[in-house]
Every structure is written in structure tokens, then in C-alpha cells.
Homo-oligomer: A and B are copies of this chain.
Amino acid sequence: MNLEELSDRYEITQVIYEYCRTLDEMDLPKLTALFTEDCVVDYGPDIKSEGSAALRRDLERMWRWKRTSHHAGGVQIEFVGAELARATSYVLAWHEAPNGSTATMMGQYHDELRRTAQGWRIAHRTQVLTGNDAGFTVGINPFRRISRPTD
């Protein structure tokens, strides 16, 4: 790997970390700036944000929680040409409602990022659910294992 590739990988990883931090902070202007203006964010069959303005408006729903804690990791990146990258990462997200009840989800972000004049930006995100407790009831796209080989 050359220096530019390592730097790109570092910067893309930081975009994913910054998303989690700004979401916990509910700093939606900063969060939205991590996405392209024409971004699509696909949480599940019934929840999709089209465009960064819509994303910002839609994420206002997170104010219904009193506290959240988003732990990102396991970022894996592949480049598709010089201007486009695909990244898979893991998240563990804990949410607490004003009444004290909690909801925990585990999942992956499947991102397409574009290199822009302002740095790497998420152009498309699909969120998938690898696990959740009983308190978490949002209809996120299910994670799929490969088909089980038949014996």
C-alpha cells in the first residue's frame, strides 16, 4: 500500500467514527456534512432517507431517546476506482428512553463513499441488523448469513 491509500483508508474510517459521535451528540449539521447531498440511507423496508436534507430531518427522531451510545468498529474498505470506495463496519448501539427503558441493536453499515473536494462522503448507506435485544423493535434490514451448505 502506498501513502495515499493508507491515508484514504484512515480518512474513510474516521467518517464512520464521526457519524457515531455526532449522532450521540445529536449534532445533526455536522453529521449531515458526512454525506453527499444526494445520499441515500436505507435503514429498512420502511425507513429510507433520500438526500442529506431529508436525512437531517429524519434523524430528529433520535431526540425521542434520552441517551444513545454508538460503538463503531471493524471497518473494512475496498476501492472501486480512485473516487469510490465501499466500506463495511460494525456498530453496537444502545438507546435509553426518558422512562429508563433501553434498546440495544448490533449491526453493520454497508457504505459507498465518494471522494469530494471536502473529503470522503457517504453517498449510499444500507444498515443491516446482526442482533438486537427485545427492547429494540425498529424494522432494520436483516443481516443474512450465506446459505447453509446441505450435508
Tell me whether A1 and B1 are in contact (CB under 8 A). Answer: no
A75-128 interface (Cβ within 8 A of B): 75-76, 88, 90, 92, 94, 96, 102, 106-108
Tell me whether B76 and A73 are in contact (CB under 8 A). Answer: no
- Known contacts A9-B10, A10-B1, A68-B131; decide if A17 and B146 are in contact (CB<8 Å): no
Interface residues on A, range: 35 or more
Of B1, B6, B71, which contacts A71 at CB under 8 A?
B71
A18 within 8 A of B: yes
Enumerate chain A interface residues (CB-CB to B < 8 A).
Answer: 1-3, 6-7, 9-11, 14, 17-18, 20-21, 24-27, 63, 67-76, 88, 90, 92, 94, 96, 102, 106-108, 130-131, 133, 143, 145-146, 148
